[in-house]
Structure 1
Amino acid sequence: MNAQFDSKAAQLRQVARELVAPGKGILAADESTGTIAKRLDSVGVESTEENRRRYREILFTTPGAEEFISGVILFDETLRQSTRSGTPFPEHLKSLGVIPGIKVDAGAKELAGHPGEKVTEGLDGLRDRLSEYVDLGAQFAKWRAVITIDTANGMPSEFCLDANAHALARYAALCQEAGLVPIVEPEVLMDGDNSIEVCEAVTARALNKVFNALYEHGVLLEGILLKPNMVIAGKKADRQAAAQEVAEATVRCLKRHVPAAVPGIVFLSGGQSDELATEHLNLMNRLGPHPWELSFSYGRALQAPALKAWAGKEEQAEAAQKAFYHRARCNSAARSGDWSEAMEKDQAA
């Protein structure tokens, strides 16, 4: 290894560790323009650039949230926006000790020849885009792959898993080349009627493919974070597993398939309710110690109460910030297994 590589590797390790610092997790505020439009529409707010900017500014300027939030994943538009006072969002976040990140994939598209399955696009031109994002202040990145479970139709296929693992590994290698910590997100969707046992088996297959591909691409595992789904039954399943069962199955699957060199695992909430996502994380950390930090990278599960409280009304901005602070505080407590239902009942605690 040359000195330049050693220096870059040290930087990647440091940023990865900072993102999963004790008591902290990541805010995913990287919704695409289409997705954020749906979220805003749900509370009667038009999706203009200013409304999108203002909503995210409310989150990013929440007093004290930096106690619990280590990093924020931004969308391309948001990375280029500023606070009302004219401070670029990345600069504002860094002033609080919060690390700016960027979503870099171009979304999941139909996988040719495999109806019902998807592959994430966005590798073309990625090297140049990463260079620009570094110049704009980003220090980490995210790429999401989606895996559909449909056992009746043979999904996920081996080819789908291979295609997405290869794309995730290429993305991760390009990120590390650019000096960005890649968040690797192979999401097994929870939309089907599958059992928790099927989810565990599919998650295991996906993780094996991903880490084999990362190894083949020469990705430094100490300089990445994994953003997986929790092992959970599909929404349409006949039986929903108890929270303790979800925690045990998830930890078991991760211990079998995620190398200890990975510094942290930052879960996605995958459509779970705010409190359930927190409870699951809390129970998993109570099963520790683990070889990696178990943290969160939640979008809706951190934002939903704040969005509902704000609903486009400027006079409600402070209430929205209190709601966001509360969810961030609860998830921070779950990092060490110290969350309780009593915390949920007392936002002022």
Structure 2
Amino acid sequence: MKKEQMDRIHTGKGFIAALDQSGGSTPKALLQYGIQEKSYSNDEEMLGLVHEMRKRIITSPAFDSEYILGAILFENTMDRTIESQFTADYLWEKKGIVPFLKIDKGLAELENGVQLMKPIPDLNGLLKQANEKNIFGTKMRSVIKEANPEGIRKVVEQQFDLGKQILSMGLVPIIEPEVDIHSTNKEKSEKILKDEIFKQLSALDKDSKVMLKLSIPTKDNFYSDFIDDSHVIRVVALSGGYDQKEANEKLAHNNGLIASFSRALSEGLTAQQTDEEFNTMLSHSIKSIYNASIT
């Protein structure tokens, strides 16, 4: 299974669906979906509603392996079921879509122009659960706000240190050092980030393979060197706050870079839509993101 999934992620045509909103972003995701905060009174009810939203997306006929290579899940989603199967098993066995897991626990306070990841308690325990639930790989996010060389170095070092731990457990890490699209020195940050990532890639064992999830670069095809690197399975792009149209336009100018969109994927979907309306909207979004990803 792992080899088949690896081949699909490495060479398949399509994109990665990010369905991993969690913590503070869950109420925003539900609000975007047309569910007000007054509709739930505690975290359990909130998580139940967001699982129903994700289940509606995943079970839609539009959510198809013809266009989608993989899907990133939140831990709570991994632990829940769809049609009596754990979510990861449903994705792979029913849809042919490779399951990933978001493992970070959110961002630390801003320091040196960046936000590192908060500590991840019992990471090995979580990775063991991921293996038991047939997860292929993991994702973890840091944020770069300023072109601070020291801060960016710490972000990349933290990402790769955890990445090695993930690799040791037989999972593929998605390294995600996001550069804030609103940063006043975004292009300079990207240059520093690129250098730091290359330092870490060159220090990996020759058989170690990672994925990179990066903000769409200011300069077209700036990350093409990563796409060709022997340690990199795939380079995917986050939408980062761009709306779907702008994210697709920018992505289409970067050959070989594929989408891993969250908000831009679920844009326009609401709980109030009929199944026909919902599936039509989702199908349009998926096809437009797919077309931007195969340039």
Output the CA distance in 2 between the equivalents of 1:143 and 1:324: 26
Output the CA distance in 2 between the equivalents of 1:186 and 1:54: 29
Residue 75 of structure 2 is matched in structure 1 by: 76
Q: 1:105 to 1:72 in 2, by over 3 A?
A: same
Output the CA distance in 1 between the equivalents of 2:214 and 2:206: 18
Query: Aligned to 1:272, what secondary structure does the other structure show?
Result: coil
Say which of 327, 333, 338 aligns to 2:285: 327
Query: Aligned to 2:291, what secondary structure does the other structure show?
Result: helix
Residue 202 of structure 1 is matched in structure 2 by: 189
Report the Cα offset of residue 64 of structure 1: 4.2
Normalised by the length of structure 2, the TM-score is: 0.87
> Deviation digits for residues 41-82 of structure 1, max 9, x if unmatched?
242343523211110001101114221111110001111111
Query: Aligned to 1:298, what secondary structure does the other structure show?
Result: coil
Output the CA distance in 2 between the equivalents of 1:209 and 1:317: 46
Say which of 59, 62, 76 aligns to 1:61: 59
Asked if 2 retains the 8 angstrom alpha-carbon contact of 1:105 and 1:144, the reply is: yes
Report the Cα offset of residue 115 of structure 1: 6.1
Say which of 250, 260, 266 aligns to 1:297: 260
> Deviation digits for residues 166-216 of structure 1, max 9, x if unmatched?
111012111211111111111110123x2xxx4222112112212313443
Residue 229 of structure 2 is aligned to residue 260 of structure 1: yes
Output the CA distance in 1 between the equivalents of 2:130 and 2:258: 25
Output the CA distance in 1 between the equivalents of 2:17 and 2:206: 24
Percent sequence identity is 23
5+ residue gaps, structure 2, are: 41-45
Report the Cα offset of residue 284 of structure 1: 2.2
Q: Which structure's CA Rg is the greater one?
A: 1
Query: Aligned to 1:108, what secondary structure does the other structure show?
Result: coil
Q: 1:141 to 1:78 in 2, by over 3 A?
A: same
Say which of 117, 126, 129 aligns to 1:129: 126
Asked if 1 retains the 8 angstrom alpha-carbon contact of 2:17 and 2:72, the reply is: yes
Asked if 2 retains the 8 angstrom alpha-carbon contact of 1:169 and 1:219, the reply is: no
Residue 103 of structure 2 is aligned to residue 104 of structure 1: yes
5+ residue gaps, structure 1, are: 1-9, 150-155, 233-248, 286-292, 338-349
Matches within 5 A, 1:1-349: 11=2, 15-42=5-32, 43-45=34-36, 46=39, 48-66=46-64, 67-83=66-82, 85-95=83-93, 96-110=95-109, 114=111, 117-149=114-146, 156-192=147-183, 194=184, 198-216=185-203, 218=205, 220=207, 223-232=209-218, 249-251=219-221, 253-255=222-224, 260-261=229-230, 262-285=232-255, 293-306=256-269, 310=270, 312-313=271-272, 316-337=274-295
Q: 1:145 to 1:17 in 2, by over 3 A?
A: farther
Output the CA distance in 2 between the equivalents of 1:257 and 1:82: 36
Output the CA distance in 2 between the equivalents of 1:302 and 1:30: 12
